[in-house]
Amino acid sequence: MSRPLSIAALAVASIIAAGAAGAAAAPALAADGEPEASVAPFARTATYPVFQNVPDGVDPAEATVAEISTITDDGTVVYTDALGKRIGFVDVTDPSNPVGTGTVELAELGHADDQPTSVAAYGDFVLVVIDETGGEFTAPKGRLDVLRVSDRTVVRSIDLGGQPDSIAISNDGAYAAIAIENQRDEEFTPEGGDEGDLPQLPGGFVQVLGLGGDGRDPADPATWTLDAVSFLNDDGTPIDVIAAAGLDTPEDPEPEYVAINSRNELAVTLQENNGIAIIDLATREVTRAFSAGSVAVSGIDVKKDARIDLTGSIPATPREPDAIAWIGDDRLATANEGDWKGGTRGWTVFDAADGDVVWDAGNTFERLAVQHGLANNDRAAKKGSEPEGLAVAEFDGTPYAFVASERSNFIAVYDVSDPAAPAFVQVLFSTNGPEGILPVPGRDLLVVSSETDDSSVNVRASVNVYVFGEAPAGTIAQPSLVSGVDASSADGAPIGWQALGALAGNPTDATHVWAASDVAVAPSTVYSIDVSRTPAVVDRAIHISDEQGAPVALDIEGLAVDGDGGFWLALEGATGAANQLVHTDGLGLIDRRVDLPADVTAHVGKWGLEGVTVTGSGADAQLWVAIQRPLWTDPANAAAGTVDGDDVTRIGRYDLAGGEWSWYGYRLEHTSVAGDWLGLSEITAIDDDTFALIERDKLNGPAAAVKRVTTVDLPAGAGATDASLAAGGTLPILEKRTAIDVLAALRATHGWTQEKLEGFAIAADGQLYAVTDNDGLADATGETVFLRLGDADAVFGGGTGEEPGGEEPGGEEPGGEEPGQPDAPSITLGASTVVAGGTVVVSGTGFEPEASVRFELRSEPVALGGATAAADGTLSFTATIPASTPAGAHTLVAILPDGTEVSAALTVAAAAAPVGSATGASGDLASTGVEPGWALGLAGLVLAAGGAAAVVGTRRRRQAA
């Protein structure tokens, strides 16, 4: 019997279960290889694409970036845009709603080829560092423009005497220091060297700008003074302290990044020289310098082959640090991006007195990328995740280090209370190429600016905003999916995963679902995901092999479980004939293949099979598939039209016993947006004749418009066969209804809205899950969003054959109400158990439209907040359970305006005490979070039926006199 659908389409905001703000993160692998959970201190609140801030008359599709940023006293972020040759301004006083407030074009201040390299706010001024070199590497030049914040006019312009890079201002406001890099020409070959080698003169130096003291007035830029600090003698030889430091080419220092401690000591990286120098700003003296040294790293991926293989290694390699920051006054942290000779895929803490290594990340930073689905195999043979940006700041008494991966698009956060044993805290996803890391403790903010921009593939540079503390209500916390240890690894490496193009429930285990990678990963892999944990955890990988047992790379776009422990995979081919269904056993060995009919493949281009599901069993087993886009009359010429009508694609049924195909039509929503199209990305059986499908557009970011789960019921009788269509028969077009608008959930992450909503599954307990495909970071941010979308009965209707709220077996209305009366209010919890300090999503139905509903946790009443019911009487609320809540049985209560209460039982599990084992310089991370065993105990507490469904006792609350 067909399961009926609810009349109103449900917005995803009303049914998302878990994964909301404040949810546990899985920052690191514990000793047993399982991800440890902790409450993440930072949460993303907004992503502002800077193309929205370009001046009038500039095409928003033109390249525009955000590289380095600062913030003014009034809460305006100022960022550099070297490609746009401007600086931009974004108001972040409301961290959830950044507002672009315009730009200053450098062409208006100087020359059209001028490019900003760095920026720093100072009182009523913004100091803008500008490269004027224009490609003349042997005649480098640059200037510092001082802009008044209030009117953005230049009040002084200072010649810097060379090509500048970064700027830093001392804590006491007495000094600014600017690295004058005089960078090398990577296409020039010096005498006796190779292309791009050093030395390439003139050598770089540091400019020190006196801002206060000695007659200088911080409020009057006319009084500021400039002094050059050279690393070279007048004859071009390195000064003694530089000559003795063991640098690569000391006569060409190449200073890169600067940072100042509270003693007004300046640390500057000499990146291409693999060195660090310390300058006393008061005396303008280079007091010491040392090599950043080399390190060998093992347990990483070093081949570009679509495999995530963590058995590779690099020999002793120069660190070549880029960004640098002080941890206190005696330790220095560096991001070891690498340049012409080096790069070690991690970051290091040095003793600033002698350059000794206090701690080094080894392979742990690189493995964070793998654990979070962000491994960038295109960069594996080069510098991997490539940490470039780094900053250190104290929030609420805890010093944190923020290390940005330029190539894997994340920021790793560490507690550096003990610089000799940094404790990993969390990963923050960002848009592509995060470079500028700006902690703003005074506003409890972290601002990250990203530099990669390519409008042709919808990759856009952005200002990413994160808040320290509680995220806005309704936030979907990220990460939502991480991996555990690879059982086949000898050193506890995480399971490599990404590009999840398909999802399916595990019919025998409600705590797990299955997912599969697309062609971005080789060999093709099916993953087991533990959904009883938050975030969900990839805990097993099954590699697919052909009939001879050889690993294969397939474009898996659909996944179904056959009921006997094996899998059906839907393969999307580059051509029509390559679209195919394959069956594997439980170990991933292919043992059967099913081709599409030639009459279909002849009309399929590259957009073919995008889902498979199974109904029935034994002789009655049927396979169902979704074809992503319409069948084309001529796949090589879309303008020639379609076979079945405009915007009509197909759903196919394959009878496993009879070997016959039949077809139904599905009408896609039409789009007139240039470059866009709509298609299907998944099919999932709800019952034998009702199916859920994903329909989505090709847009991402703020342009994304259609990301939804729809449902269709099959009509009585068979669909069209190839023979009937060939004889002039018609393709039955199915009526679709929107069940879940997933766009709201994707936007609730406050990140870049992902394009590829690709997988949808119904677990054994009826819980609904969806996942996005990160495309293996190809023209994508790499972020994967794993969504918990509530209970199938609530979304699709109960399995009784009646509409939700309709007559139950026996003829009585739910709750004993008379027929025709409205449903009584009820609430459903997204989980029956939650860890103290965690969150649970409350979904409600039957409330008065627009009613204000309060929520409490009892027995001792604790106010949790409130929500307003929608026009259809539904509501959604993310309840944060106080960390002080005692473990045990509790009740979550919804209180209506008239005092009526409805409630649901909730078990609160105690959060384990954090652990923080110290480490030395070996690269093993100390960990923060909960004991690894808690999740196993919690899994045992979770009801097999999934969300704590029910409730319902209503009573009239005693009113105050």
How does pLDDT run across 534-586, given as a tens digit for each residue? 999 999 999 999 999 999 999 999 999 998 899 999 999 888 999 999 999 99
Q: Give the pLDDT band of residue 625 (cuts 50, 70, 90).
A: very high
Residues comprising the chain, all counted: 961
pLDDT, residue 563, reads: 84
How does pLDDT run across 696-721, given as a tens digit for each residue? 999 999 999 999 999 999 987 779 99
Looking at 748, 781, 796, which one is the last position of a domain? 796
CA angle in degrees (0–180, nearest 5) for 498-368-682: 20
Do 738 and 633 share a structural domain? yes
d(CA 86, CA 172): 29
pLDDT, residue 860, reads: 77
CA torsion angle 532 535 539 544 (round to 10): 110
d(CA 868, CA 687): 33
d(CA 336, CA 244): 22
Instruction: Assess whether pLDDT exceeds 90 at residue 33.
Output: no
Give domain status of residue 70, yes or no. no
What are phi and psi for residue 216, nearest 5 degrees? -90, 140
CB 324 within 8 A of CB 352: no
d(CA 783, CA 478): 9
Give domain status of residue 670, yes or no. yes
CA 683 to chain centroid, in Å, comes to: 25
Do 848 and 761 share a structural domain? no
Instruction: Assess whether pLDDT exceeds 90 at residue 399.
Output: yes
SS3 677: coil
Give domain status of residue 903, yes or no. yes
Instruction: Assess whether pLDDT exceeds 90 at residue 739.
Output: yes
Give domain status of residue 753, yes or no. yes
User: What is the DSSP code string of 502-558?
Assistant: EEEE-TT-TTEEEEEE-TTSSS-EEEEEETTSSSEEEEEEEE-B-TTS-B----EEE
What proportion of the chain, given as a percentage, has pLDDT over 70? 88
Q: Give the pLDDT band of residue 664 (cuts 50, 70, 90).
A: very high
What are phi and psi for residue 861, nearest 5 degrees? -60, 130
pLDDT, residue 631, reads: 95
CA 665 to chain centroid, in Å, comes to: 35
CA angle in degrees (0–180, nearest 5) for 747-930-331: 85
Do 655 and 522 share a structural domain? yes
- The DSSP output letter for 731 is P
- The domain tally of the chain equals 2
Looking at 887, 909, 931, which one is the last position of a domain? 909
Question: Among 413, 254, 453, which Cα is nearest to 342's?
Answer: 254
Do 852 and 786 share a structural domain? no
d(CA 652, CA 5): 22
Do 682 and 568 share a structural domain? yes
pLDDT, residue 870, reads: 85
- CATH number for position 590: 2.120.10
* Per-residue buried b or exposed e for 571-607, using 16+ beta carbons within 10 Å of the residue's own CB: bbbeebebbbbbbbeeebbbeeebebeeebbbbbbeb
Lowest-confidence pick of 32-46, 262-276, 377-391, 759-773? 32-46
User: Who's near 187: CB < 8 A, 6+ residues apart?
Assistant: 195, 196
Instruction: Assess whether pLDDT exceeds 70 at residue 11.
Output: no
Do 658 and 598 share a structural domain? yes
Do 846 and 768 share a structural domain? no
How does pLDDT run across 466-485, given as a tens digit for each residue? 999 988 888 999 999 999 99
Give domain status of residue 876, yes or no. yes
pLDDT, residue 837, reads: 77
Do 844 and 705 share a structural domain? no
Looking at 775, 796, 817, which one is the last position of a domain? 796
- The pLDDT of 366-388, averaged and rounded, is 97
Q: Which two tokens stand for residue 746?
A: 């994707």
Give domain status of residue 648, yes or no. yes
Residue type, 945: A
CB 367 within 8 A of CB 299: yes
Sheet holding 285-291, edge to edge: 255-260, 265-270, 275-280, 285-291
Do 731 and 852 share a structural domain? no
List the helix and strand counts (H, then E) for the chain. 8, 64
CA 870 to chain centroid, in Å, comes to: 30
d(CA 923, CA 349): 11
Do 609 and 561 share a structural domain? yes
Residue type, 620: D
pLDDT, residue 956, reads: 24
Do 831 and 789 share a structural domain? no
- The pLDDT of 737-752, averaged and rounded, is 96
Do 889 and 761 share a structural domain? no
Instruction: Name the residue range of residue 849's domain.
Output: 826-909
Instruction: Assess whether pLDDT exceeds 80 at residue 128.
Output: yes
Give domain status of residue 630, yes or no. yes
Q: Share the mean pLDDT of the chain.
A: 88
- CATH number for position 890: 2.60.40.1930
CB 927 within 8 A of CB 424: yes
Between 110 and 590, whose confidence is greater? 590
pLDDT, residue 931, reads: 29
Give domain status of residue 551, yes or no. yes
